Amino acid sequence: MKRQAEIRWREEKYRVMFHSQKHYNAIRVAMREQQPYETIAVMIDDAIAQTPTSGSMRNAIQHMWGYFKKHVTSEQKAHYDELMTNEQYDDVCCYLRQLANDYNITYLQNSTILQEERH
């Protein structure tokens, strides 16, 4: 069950952060304490049910952007900056999914936040 919780957390980490930094922090503690999978799963589901704020979305996206910032072209960086300036967070997530595929960043490719269809 510990392995199952680790896998679920790895996949959901940025999605949780996107919805709630408070829940993200609580789940990190629960993982460190090796809480049972069922507890972690409920905490993740509760976090995802929260309405994201502009700050929580921006924070999660900036964390994900860290995987690319040393690799992207100046044009790609400018596009990211434009989307962020205009707070087009759904579009940024789609763009990050594209970059994750382009740069083969497996960790982000497996993240549920980038697998969601955004409108």
Q: What is the pLDDT of residues 61-81, one digit of tens each?
A: 999 999 998 899 999 999 999
Distance CA 47, CA 24 (A): 8
pTM for this entry: 0.91
Distance CA 110, CA 6 (A): 13
HSE value, Cβ hemisphere, 13 Å, CA-based, for 86? 9
* Residue 119 pLDDT class (50, 70, 90 cuts): very low
Q: Which two tokens stand for residue 4?
A: 């199952």
Q: Which two tokens stand for residue 77?
A: 């960086």
Distance CA 81, CA 62 (A): 11
Average pLDDT over residues 24-36: 97
Instruction: Give residue 102's pLDDT.
Output: 95
Average pLDDT of the chain? 94
